[in-house]
Structure 1
Amino acid sequence: MASSSNSHDRLTHLKEFGTDPGSLHADIYIPKNFSKNGPLVVVLHGSTQSAEGYDRGSGWSELADECGIALLYPGQRKTNNPLSSFNWFKSGDTRRGSGEPLSIFHMIEQVVEDHAIDPLRVFITGMSSGGAMASVMLATYPEVFAGGAIIAGLPYRSADNLMEAMVRMKGVGGPSDSRLNSLVRGASTFEGPWPTISVWHGGSDSTVDNANADAIVRQWQAIHQVEGPPTRVEDVVGFPRQVWCNEAGQEVIEEYIIGGMGHGTPIMARGEKGLGEEDKYMLEVGISSTRHIAYFWGLT
C-alpha cells in the first residue's frame, strides 16, 4: 500500500490571494523537487470532504513528490454550504468575474506568481461538487487551463438552482447538446485553444447518474470539433477508455466509465504504483484516476 504518512499535514495554508468574493479557503503543496516553470494542478474536493482528506485519498501529493507538481486545494467553508459542497449551481458562483470562480482564479494567479509556475501548464480536477465546479472553471476561465478532469461531476450550467441540481444529479432533464455547447462558448470571450477534457464516472453511481459524464463529453465535443463516436476505444487495466482526437491527431477528450463503481474517485492504493488511501468516496477499484489523469496531461 502506498505510504500516506503525514499526508494530513502536508498541505499549507495559502494566506493571501486577490479578492475572495466566494469566501473560500486555500491550501497548497509544493514538493521539494518542484522546479521553476513546473506545472500546477488545482484539486477540488467533493461534498462532506476537506482538502486534506481528498489529498490523502487521491494521492495527489504523493504523485507531486514523484513528478515535481505544485498543487492548489481550494476549500469550501461550511458557512457557504452546510455539506462543504462547491456551489456549482448558484448563479453567483457560475459566472466569470464573480463568486467562487473568481476566488479560485485569484488563488491560481497567486500561486503561479509565487512559485514561478508555467502558465501554460495549469490543470484542474475535482470530484462530485468539486467536479461540477471544475466544469465551471473550465468554462468561465478556459484560457487559464491546459486541461481539466471531471470525476463524478456534471456539465457546466446544467442546473441554475438547488432544485434543478438535485434533478440533474439523477440524470433527468437538462439542456440540449447545442445549449450545453453554447453555455461554454458564452461563459467567456475565449476562442481557443481549449483545455483538454478527461471524464471519469462510476457505472453504478446512484448519487450523480453517469448520464452526466456523457453530457460533459457532449458539452465539449463541438468546442473541440470532435462530434460523433470516439476516435477509438481501448482497454486500460481492464476498463474501457474512449478517446476523441482532433484533426491533428491530438487526444482532446477521454472518458472512463468504471463499471460497477459507485459515487467517488477511482483509486488504486495497492501495489508498487499505488497512490492514495481508501475512504468513503475514495474507491479502491484497481485503477488510479490520479495517475492516469496526470499521464493524459503529460505530467508523468
Structure 2
Amino acid sequence: MSSTLQRWMKEVTRLTRSGRLADATRAIQDALGRKPTMGSFNAPPAEVNSQTAAAASAARLIPEPVPVETSKAIDDGTIRTGEYSEAGLTRSYLLYLPPTASAEHSGTPMPLVVMLHGCTQDPTDFAAGTGMNSLAREQGFAVLYPAQAQSANPSRCWNWFKHNHQRRGSGEAAVIAGMTRSVVAEHHLDPCRVYVAGLSAGGAMAAILGRAYPDLYAAVGIHSGLASGAANDLISALSAMKHGPASPTSPPPVTQSGEPAARDDGFSASIGPVPTIVFHGDGDAVVHPGNGTQAIAVAIGQTGTGAPSAASPVVEVGESTKGRRYTRTTHPGPAGAPAQAEHWLVHGGGHAWSGGREQGSYTDPSGPDATREMWRFFRTHSQPEAQRHEG
C-alpha cells in the first residue's frame, strides 16, 4: 500500500474514532472523486461505499420492528411491503406483482427478479430509475426490492466488503437469500427462475449472492459493481474501487483428483459460476471499470460441468438510440446452452444505470437499456431442478 494511501487511511480512522463522521465522509469522497464524468446524469455518482465508508465500518445494528406485510393495489399491479428476519438481521422490502401474478389466473408460476439498490438509494427510488416494474408488467415477472437498513450502514450501502456478509448462511447475504425464498414460496413464484441484479454496492452484493447461492439464483446482473471476492475489508474495498482488481481471478479450487473442491462459503463448487451479465461505464470514476472485467472473468472461469468454455467470445460494437456507444462481449456457454456471460462496456458512461429513467437517481438515460437487456439475458437461464437446494 502506498504511503499516500496509508496517510489517508490514518486520517479517516482518526476522524471516525473522534466521532467526526461527516468529516470522514468528505475525506473519502474527495479521495475517490465523486464528481460525475458526464453532465447528463441527474444525480452525483452512487458510491459503492465511498459516501460514508468510515461511518459504515463503525455502524452498529439495532433491533428493528417485528416483520409485517402490507399491500397497495395499483392499476398496473400490486405493490407489497414487508420485512424478513434471518441470521440475526431484519430487512424490509418492496415487492411488485404484475396483474398476472396470481398462479390460479396465469397457470404458470412467474419468475422473480431481485433488485439491490445502490448507496443512498431505496427500493422506491431504484424502481423508478430502472423502470423494472414497467418491464415486469409487460413481460410477466415479479420484482423484489430488499432495502438496506440505515442502522446497518448510514448511507444504506450493502456491506459487500465485510467478510461476515459474504458467506452462505451469514449476514446480509443470508437475509436476502432467505427473503427471496420466503417471497417465492408465499406468492407461488417459479423457484427455477429466480435472478438477482444490483447497482454499485447492490451489484457487488448480487455477485456475492450468485457465488454463495448458485442453487437459488439462476443468473446475476452486475451494474457498476464489483466481483465476488474483490475485497474483504474497508481498505481493500477502497483500493478495488479506485484502482481496479488487485490481481487476476484465481481458478476454481480442485482436489488432487481434479474434482471441484468444497468452497469456503459452505456450498460445493460443482455447480460452477452463475451466468452473469455486466454493465459498466468506461468513464466510471467511482468504481473502476476493471471490476466489471473481473466479474466476467469469475463468470467464465468454468461452466456448470467444471470445464471451461472452448468457444471464443463474440464482440459487437453498437450505439444506443440516444447516441451512446458501447461494446458488447458475449461469452458462449457449452454447446447448446445460452450465453454464460455478457459484458456491456458503455463508452463515456459514468457511475449510473444505463438507459435508466430521470425519475430515479443515478441514471444515464442516453445509454443502452440495461433493464431490458438484463431481463433478456435472465430469461434464457433457469435453475436445473437437480441443483435446487432449500437451505
**Taking structure 1 as the reference length, what is the TM-score of the superposition?**
0.87
Matched, 1:26 2:114: no
Cα distance, 1:108–1:100 mapped onto 2, change above 3 Å: same
Cα deviation, residue 167, structure 1: 0.7
What amino acid sits opposite 1:222 in the alignment? G
1:40 maps onto 2:112 in alignment: yes
Paired residue for 2:334? 247
**Would you say the 8 A contact 1:11–1:28 is kept in 2?**
yes
Check if 1:163 corresponds to 2:235. Answer: yes
Equivalent position to 2:284, from 177, 184, 205: 205
Between the aligned partners of 1:10 and 1:298, the Cα distance in structure 2 is 22
Structure 2 residue matching 1:191: 3-state secondary structure: helix
Counterpart in 1 of 2:200? Answer: 128
Deviates more, 1:166-175 or 1:201-210: 166-175
1:1-300 superposed matches below 5 A: 11-15=79-83, 17=84, 19=86, 21-36=88-103, 37-178=109-250, 181-182=252-253, 185-187=263-265, 188-192=267-271, 194-224=273-303, 225-226=307-308, 230-236=312-318, 237=320, 238-249=325-336, 250-267=338-355, 276-277=357-358, 279-298=360-379
Q: CA deviation at 1:54?
A: 0.4
Write the distance in 2 (CA, Å) between the matches of 1:228 and 1:169. 31
- CA–CA distance in structure 2, aligned partners of residues 286 and 202 of structure 1: 9
1:272 matched residue in structure 2 = none
Q: In the aligned structure 2, how far is the partner of 1:136 from the partner of 1:151?
A: 13
CA distance in 2, matches of 1:278, 1:100: 28
Aligned to 1:271: none
Instruction: Give the Cα separation in 1 of the matches to 2:344 and 2:282.
Output: 9
Q: Could you tell me which amino acid in structure 1 is paired with residue 341 of structure 2?
A: I
Contact 1:61 1:71 in 2 (8 A): yes
**Matches of 2:79 and 2:358 in 1, distance apart?**
16
| 3-state DSSP of counterpart to 1:165 | helix
SS of equivalent to 2:93: strand
TM-superposed deviation, 1:124: 0.3
- Which ranges in structure 2 are unaligned for 5 or more consecutive residues? 1-73, 104-108, 254-260, 381-391
Q: More displaced, 225-234 or 52-61?
A: 225-234
CA contact (8 A) 1:146 1:194 kept: no
Deviations 1:58-107 (A, max 9, x none): 00111111111111111101110011100001111111111101100111
Amino acid paired to 2:82: L
Identity %: 30
Distance 1:13 1:201 in 2: 30
Contact 1:44-1:130 within 8 A present in 2 as well: yes
Q: Secondary structure at the match of 1:170?
A: helix
Larger gyration radius, structure 1 or structure 2: 2
Aligned length: 284
Alpha carbons 1:204, 1:260 under 8 Å: kept: yes
Q: What is the rounded CA distance, in whole Å, between the counterparts of 2:228 and 2:245 in structure 1?
A: 14
